[in-house]
Structure 1
């Protein structure tokens, strides 16, 4: 592959950084194009993603243009992870990976995002019932991960190695302190297996590089 993949991103949103982590893990060349919120319903992004959201990608090497972070992750792994470093081809592992990725997209992402929305951006302020609901859902979802890892006795969600299913959780989990404040420390104390898993993922060189890039992008 010689041409860089174009990644449409936003400096603050977690989901584009999920894709960036996979790109880094796979050693793929890519170019990030940051899109401001007010420009997401316009070209060139709207031509790639009819929903006008990030992330989206254009791959000049295959002619494929895609949107939705989970679908992009699956595409990148299926297309470029020829050594299966981040995936499994055996059953049931390859299907369990999809289950955990979809749980991340249907559980972690929406619940974390709604907690941020109702606490920070919703025009009607101090909706304690909504804020508490999503804070509790954050704890519940992370508890599912913690219980699964304990039951399996493994360091990662599926099998004996880090996969795309693990890495998909990283950007939203990085927002735990931001979303729960002092409650984040309590969650980590109550869920030590989850915390150890998260720390292992954060220590990966590709993840550290994206953390640095995200910090740099948000400081500009």
Structure 2
């Protein structure tokens, strides 16, 4: 089977994690086709997809120019893309101490931001029963994570390397969802007032051409439903 584009990305139109892979693909000028799985029909759990990702989660990426190599877990995909295709270090850093700082932020995003923000979304929006203690716990965890980011970004423009990297890109979509949905009306949450450095960083990321282009695609997909 021939492929006109180098990559196939399995994603979801609303799910945050697939879009950060698209940010990196756009930044690196790599060609890709996205297949958006229908979660309501359980496509992410069907054998047609789990043969690529046994965890039954998006995203998964197939590199057709590397013998149809398959990789899943969004931050692992980001590392694969920059290690293999970012020869100019546009959105990564050289090997050495900064590389470990890059990994540090990707681990923090995957273990701190993603799970806590995801649980906040679940209990605030999708859980069949209203459990105030769980909702409050995870919203407070969002505030804590934002506080960690604020502490660092109040002293520097980007997370690592003095430039935009995959570390920064990895945080965009969950932050966007938190600011615009999860934390709306929560204890008078005010991003600009409470976390001004995070707000400036986030707005700068949203204005990045590759990010703006990708999020415009997302909005167009959602608006059609």
Q: Same fold (TM over 0.5)?
A: yes
Partner of 1:214: 218
Report SS of the residue matched to 1:189: helix
Of the three residues 122, 128, 144, the one matched with 2:127 is 122
Deviations 1:13-37 (A, max 9, x none): 0000011111111110000001111
Query: Could you tell me how far apart the structure 2 residues matched to 1:21 and 1:159 are?
Result: 18
CA distance in 1, matches of 2:183, 2:202: 16
Report the counterpart of residue 12 of structure 1 in structure 2: 14
- Look up the match of 2:172: 170
2:70 aligns with: 65
Residues 1:188 and 2:192 aligned together: yes
Structure 2, unpaired ranges of 5+: none
Deviations 1:73-100 (CA, angstroms, capped at 9, x unpaired): 1101111101000111142101100000
Question: Helix, strand or coil: the match of 1:7?
Answer: strand
**1:179 equivalenced with 2:182 (yes/no):** yes
Superposed displacement of residue 58, structure 1: 0.8
The Cα offsets for residues 117-165 of structure 1, whole Å up to 9 and x where unpaired, read as 011111222x111000011000110110110122xx2200012111100
The Cα shift of 1:185 comes to 4.9
Distance 1:159 1:6 in 2: 30
1:32 and 1:44 map into 2 onto residues whose CA distance is 15
Where do 1:1-220 residues align within 5 Å? 3-37=5-39, 38-63=42-67, 64-125=69-130, 127-150=131-154, 153-175=155-177, 176-183=179-186, 185-220=189-224
Answer yes or no: is the 8 Å Cα contact 1:139–1:187 preserved in 2.
Answer: no
Cα separation, partners in 2 of 1:108 and 1:188, compared to 1, 3 Å: farther
Moved over 3 A (4+): none
> C-alpha separation between the residues in 2 aligned to 1:49 and 1:215?
26
Q: So what's the TM-score if we normalise by structure 2?
A: 0.92
Distance 1:35 1:177 in 2: 24
Which moved further from structure 2: 29-38 or 185-194? 185-194
How many residues get paired? 217
Superposition deviation, residue 188 in structure 1:
3.2
Give the TM-score normalised by structure 1: 0.94
Please give the root-mean-square deviation of Cα atoms over the aligned residues, in Å.
1.5
Deviations 1:45-86 (A, max 9, x none): 111000111100111111210111111111011111010001
